[in-house]
Structure 1
Amino acid sequence: MNGVIIQFFHWYHPGNLWNEFADKAIFLKELGFTAVWLPPATKCSENLRGRGYDIYDQYDLGEFDQKGGIPTRYGTKHEYLNSIEKAHQAGLHVYADIVLNHRMGGDEEEQITVHEVSEEDRNIKIAEAFEAKALTKFTFPGRNGKYSEFIWNHQCFSGIDNIKKDNRKIKGIFKIHNEYGEEWNDAVSHQFGNYDYLMGADIEYRNPKVVQEMKNWIKWYLETTKADGIRVDALKHISLDFLKEWISYIKKEINPDLFILGEFWKDEAEKIIDFSQEMNDLISCFDAPLHYNFFNASNEGKDYDLRKILDGSFLERKPIFSVSFVENHDTQRLQSLESSVRSWFKPIAYAIILLTKDAYPCVFYPDLFGAEYTDQKDGEEQHIIMPKIEILPKLMEARKLFAHGEQIKYFDHKNCIAFVRKGEKDHPGCVVIISNSGEGYKEIDLGKELANSVFRDFLNIRNDEIILDDNGKGIFKVNMCSVSVWIKNDFYSD
């Protein structure tokens, strides 16, 4: 399929996203995108300020007057459903962002028993059990039982970060004592001892009533939205037992072809592979290790060994379940996982994920459209400009027209690498060459059938021609800190 995803949002997107996407759906399809990842559509605890991840009511897609208004930051339910319909009309699949880990903005306080744990090791108690009040009851009065009459209370949650004791507000990580015990669910990442808790009121997936409600909800959600896939947030913190049961239910009872993509954020491919195998290969995962390779390469410049650019990546180890990306809303400047790839390297990084074999790439909204925003960091206001990557549409076109067929790698110099896509019927193939230092070159043998052929740079970065010799060999060149995509002159167009 040679598919490409666009992440059609970033953390600081100003809003009205559903209408913007509906207007751009055909344009995106023409660029070569096949799928769009849209942010969470659910009502947030902070409503217009929330990005969808501070989830309050999973059944409110911008339909009910809750948390200060009807629309979410991105628009109304009607606009959301219309944007998905526009995507389908344009021939794009829609991947909806889903938050399963927590709830925020509870409607009523409950008297509960908790004990406080260490942030560095959640298995260590730093205070013995005591009585407290917390916003652990969710009644959704604005929705008034429409779609679901399920009421969430402290038996539905395993932990919380805000409590009241003796009318004093206290912040920390507090383990809720419920009928499922006083310990965290063990079927999660063991980072920080146990990573069940992330934020808000953490959902208790040992509660069978919660599991059933989440099955009921996803059936309602997929039937309502007609989404073609889901991107599941924060998988390190969610019970594997629940995930396997929930995803198996989706595949068996709702849609066996639903694409499921997960954020299991680890910088080691081995840990992502372990998770993938534990999930019985039911889910694809983002390739965070490859992102960090790009980040390091962009910072180290000519000192980075390009021969190792794919080393340790999920793409290298398990490509069929890997989704490659250069940057996302968590890694952009001023965000929690800030590891922004420098602008000079982004054309190179995108050339790798868009043109290399087996990759399923995801393009970040600001890299296509640009972005500008202001936020606080360390008490100071910072103004960030993310320029669009001018060459990106041309790389998209190169993927569509030429990045097909067998791949041969020429990863034989620390500052200059290349790979050949040999092409197939109706797609003639290309030569991709990359430098992270000075002008580079590579002698490449394309076979006698291409003897004396003339090649030009499809990206128009270099203006010279390369003429193969009688044996089909040629010296392919690239500018300093750049990328070129060489194609046969017969297929060249300005």
Structure 2
Amino acid sequence: MKKLNKFLLMGLLALYASCTTDDFDSSSAEKNNQTQATSLSLTTSTGSKVMMQAFYWDVPAGGTWWNTVSTKVQDWSNAGIDAIWLPPVSKAQNGPFSMGYDPFDYFDFGEYNQMGSVETRFGSRQELESLIQNAHNQNLAVIADIVINHNSGGDQESNVYTGTDTYTDFNPASGMFYRSATDFHPNDTHSNDSGAFGGYPDLCHDKSYVQDWLWKQSNSVAKYYKNTLGVDGWRFDYVKGYEPWVVNAWVNEVGGFAVGEYWDSNVDLLENWTNNAQASAFDFACYYRMKDAFDGNDLTRLQDDMLWKRNPMRAVTFVSNHDTNEIYNGKMLAYAYILTHEGYPCIFYQDYEQWLDKNQLNNLIWIHNNKASGTTNILHADQDEYIARRNGNPGLIVYLNNSDNWQERWVSTNWYNSQIKDFTGKSNWEPYTQADGWVKLQAPPHSYSIWSTK
């Protein structure tokens, strides 16, 4: 999901549209598909380390963002990041001011003079391709934000399905993926799908023409982004707006890591979506339980059900993103939680680069990549304290303390007659575990310690 663009005309609020059955002009399309990727997609697996959300809402306009991110990727890779999630890369209705969530031309990456600019808010196509190649040179996968629920910026046309004029006539300068009333809802197939967003024309994914242009044909959005731009994976925006089979079909066609934004704290709904889409989902159940725990000062909420507890291979955990930043107190404890537990953690750009202690985050990333393996057991939870054990090799024990004082507890470990230490450096204890694996650990006030073998 994303914030509604402030330039959206109120008149769009009642409008829906539909999909065209006309055959696309293949000769024209192929002519526009001659650019070769400066760097093809990575073959390494995404999801084993940590993702960076490489933007925030209203990043500086003026076409500088791709270059800004490009200066960061080497440091991020050195820190242990394995993927960067970019905002929507194509030209949107509000041109140089848009964050990309009001898509108009899926094949204009900052090279056509339309919607008030040549470049996107983030920069030119050349700068985007340079960023992707730079990321790949640093062994970082590139995750593209895919907005296919709705479109914006079409011209007005007479719509036989509504009996009114609707803004559903899309004539992109790239010459790729023209759209008209039949390509949107309502149309001759059905009046709506799972959900519309903000009054924008709502794409109909049941139309073969739309499927062809989005993922099926050789110069579809999916194949162009992967084969020509070099994108490695996908973050699907507002997946509540269309059926999960769409994501499943996309990934079956082109592959790549995929995560959906199913914004709901109900873990049953999240799990159901991941099963049907055969893709990962952002773990909003985890996010809201962390909000209850750290801002609500009740760490027992960390015992509640979350997506990572049901299917860690399908859970992308996070503390903040471009849409929501509601964990104010104990944010570092929240990062200590997601970076020591199962799931694929995502770090928010502003948390890492501006708001929090980068050295502490880098330490947590190192711990995640080197110590956090195996299944999870919760060893203790009360209002102020939470202790959990990862059972891998070497595994770890994380101790969260949200009280005003240092705390100590005896816990059961998987290490026997072994010396351990706190890899955060917050405690200078280096105790030996007993023959039965028990040991006394400590954690500082409103902070955490993370223990493992030396």
Question: Which TM-score applies when normalising by structure 1?
Answer: 0.76
Distance 1:206 1:444 in 2: 55
Instruction: Please tell me whether residue 110 in structure 1 is matched to residue 152 in structure 2.
Output: no
Residue 434 of structure 1 pairs with residue 404 of structure 2: no
Shift of 1:423: 5.0
Please give the alpha-carbon distance, in whole angstroms, between the structure 1 residues aligned to 2:156 and 2:375: 61
Q: Which amino acid aligns with 1:217?
A: V
Q: Distance in 2 between matches of 1:448 and 1:330?
A: 42
Query: Which protein has greater RCO, CA pairs closer than 8 Å, 6+ apart?
Result: 2
Are residues 444 and 135 of structure 1, via their aligned partners in 2, closer, same or farther at CA, if it must alter by over 3 Å? Answer: same
Structure 1 residues 364-403: aligned runs within 5 Å: 364-370=348-354, 386-387=355-356, 391-403=360-372
1:413 is aligned to: 382
Correspondence 1:355 to 2:370? no
Question: Could you say which residue in structure 2 is the equivalent of 1:223?
Answer: 227
Unpaired runs of 5+ residues, structure 2, are 1-46
Render the CA deviation track for 1:193-232: whole Å, top value 9, x for unaligned: xx24544111122322122221222212211111111111
Alignment of 1:85-100 (within 5 A): 85-100=133-148
Q: Which residue, out of 307, 329, 335, partners 1:314?
A: 307
* Correspondence list, 1:70-85, <5 A: 70-85=118-133
Q: Which residue of 2 aligns with 1:382?
A: none
Q: Alpha carbons of 1:296 and 1:414: their partners in 2 closer, same or farther (altered >3 Å)?
A: closer
Distance change >3 Å, CA 317–CA 289, structure 1 → 2? same
Change (3 A) 1:457 1:114: same
Q: Per-residue deviation at 1:467?
A: 4.8
Q: 1:341 aligned to 306, 322, 327, which one?
A: 327
Determine helix, strand or coil for the equivalent of 2:99.
coil
Q: Is the 8 A contact 1:198 1:237 kept in 2?
A: no
Give the 3 Å change call, closer, same or farther, for CA 73–442 of structure 1 in structure 2: same
Describe the SS at the equivalent of 1:261. Answer: strand
Give the corresponding residue for 1:127: none
Deviation at 1:469, TM superposition (A): 5.0
State the secondary structure of the residue aligned to 1:480.
coil
SS at structure 1 position matched to 2:275: helix
Q: CA deviation at 1:28?
A: 0.5
C-alpha distance after superposition, 1:72-92 (max 9, x if no partner): 111111111111111111111
Q: Which residue of 2 aligns with 1:167?
A: none
Paired position in structure 2 for 1:122: none
Which deviations, in whole Å up to 9, do the C-alpha atoms of 1:233-285 show, x marking residues without a partner?
1110013454443333x2xxx34xx1111111111010112222333xx2111
Q: Give the secondary structure class of the aligned counterpart of 2:346.
A: strand
Report if aligned partners of 1:445, 1:473 keep a CA contact under 8 Å in 2: yes
Q: Deviations over 1:447-470 (max 9, x none)?
A: 67325x3x4432232344545456
* Displaced runs of 4 or more, over 6 A: none
Q: CA shift at 1:67, angstroms?
A: 1.1
Distance 1:408 1:110 in 2: 59
Look up the equivalent residue of 2:183 and give its one-letter code. Answer: C
More strand, by proportion: 1
Aligned residues: 401
From 262, 265, 285, give the equivalent of 2:263.
265
Write the distance in 1 (CA, Å) between the matches of 2:360 and 2:58: 23
What is the TM-score when the length of structure 2 is the normalising length? 0.82
Aligned equivalents of 2:438 and 2:312: distance in 1?
30
Residue type of the alignment partner of 2:242? I
For the 8 Å contact 2:285–2:305, the answer to whether it is kept is yes
Q: Would the aligned equivalents of 1:430 and 1:486 in 2 still touch at CA under 8 Å?
A: yes
- 1:430 & 1:318 partners in 2: Cα distance? 20
CA 1:297 to 1:362, structure 2 compared with 1: closer, same or farther past 3 Å?
same
- The AA in structure 2 aligned to 1:205 is H
Q: Cα deviation per residue 1:88-128 (whole Å; 9 max; x = unaligned)?
A: 1111111111110111111x32122566xxxxxxxxxxxxx
Structure with bigger gyration radius: 1
% identical equivalent positions: 27
Task: Note if contact 1:366-1:388 (Cα within 8 Å) is conserved in structure 2.
Answer: no
Evaluate the alpha carbon distance shift between residue 392 and residue 39 of structure 1 in structure 2; reply closer, same or farther with a 3 A threshold: same
Number of the residue aligned with 1:326: 319
Residue 480, structure 1, aligned to residue 449, structure 2: no
